Amino acid sequence: MTDLLPLMAAKYNYWIYTILMMTGLYAMIAKNNLVKKIIGMNIFQTAIILFYVSIAYKTGGTLPIIMEGGHGGGHGAINAADYINPLPHTLMLTAIVVSVATMGVALALAIKVYRQYGTLEEDDINHQIRTQAGQ
C-alpha cells in the first residue's frame, strides 16, 4: 500500500483515463437503449483523446508554437523539452472531428432502426426479430 500511493500520484492520468474508458465500455455493454450505447461509445472516444493528450504533456512545457526567431525561420537553438509534444495533439485534432462525423452516422443508423422497428430498446428489437424468424 505504501508503494501504491506514489505510483498513483505519478501516473494519475492513466487512472482517470481508465475510469472514463471503463464507464464508456460499461454503457456500451450493459445499457439497453441504442442511443445510450452510442453515448457510451462517445465517452470511450473521449477517454482515448484524454489518454493521447496526457502522454503529450511535459512538465514545464508550453504550447508547441515556437517562440524563438519569430518570422525569421527560427535559427536559434530550440530546446524540445520546452514545448509539449505536438504529434498526439495533431492526431487527436483530426480524431475529434472524425468522431463527431462518425457519431452522426451512428445516430443516422439509430434513426433507421427506429423507423424499421418502432423502438430503440435492444431486447424489444431482438424479440421482434425472433418472432419474425419463427413465423
Partner 1 sequence: MRLLALIAVILTGGLIIFQTGAFPDFGDANAPANTYLSTYYLEHGQADTHAPNIVTSVLADYRGYDTMFETTVVFAAGLACFFLLRRKKVPGGEPRIYRHMPTGITLRIADGGKLPAEDSEVFRRLDTEFVPQQLIIKNTCRIVIPFIQIFALYVIAHGHYSPGGGFQGGVLLAASIILYAISHDLRRAIRRFSEKTAALMGSLGVLIYAGTGALCLLMGANFLNYKALAPLLGVDAVMARSHGILIVEIGVAFAVMAMIIWIYYNLSSAGKHDEGL
- As a whole number of angstroms, the distance between CA 16 and CA 14 comes to 5
Determine if 26 is a binding residue for partner 1 (CB under 8 A): yes
Q: Is residue 107 a contact partner of residue 68, using CB atoms and an 8 Å limit?
A: no
In the complex, minimum distance from the CB of residue 103 to partner 1, in angstroms, rounded to a whole number: 9
Under the criterion CB under 8 A, does residue 33 sit at the interface with partner 1?
A: no
- Tell me the site size for partner 1, rule CB under 8 A: 60
The type of residue at 84 is: I
Q: Quote the least distance from Cβ 128 to partner 1, whole Å.
A: 19
Does 21 bind partner 1 (CB under 8 A)? Our answer is yes
DSSP-assigned letter for residue 81:
G
- Does 66 sit near partner 1 (CB under 8 A)? yes
- What are the beta bridge partners of residue 62? 83
Q: For the chain, how big is the Rg over CA atoms in Å?
A: 22
58 binds partner 1 (CB under 8 A): yes
Q: Label residue 94 exposed, middle or buried (CB < 10 Å: 0-12, 13-18, 19+).
A: exposed
Which residues form the interface with partner 1 (CB under 8 A)?
7, 10-15, 18-19, 21-22, 25-26, 29-30, 54-59, 61, 63-67, 69-70, 73-75, 78, 80-81, 83, 85-91, 93-98, 100-102, 104-105, 107-109, 111-112, 115
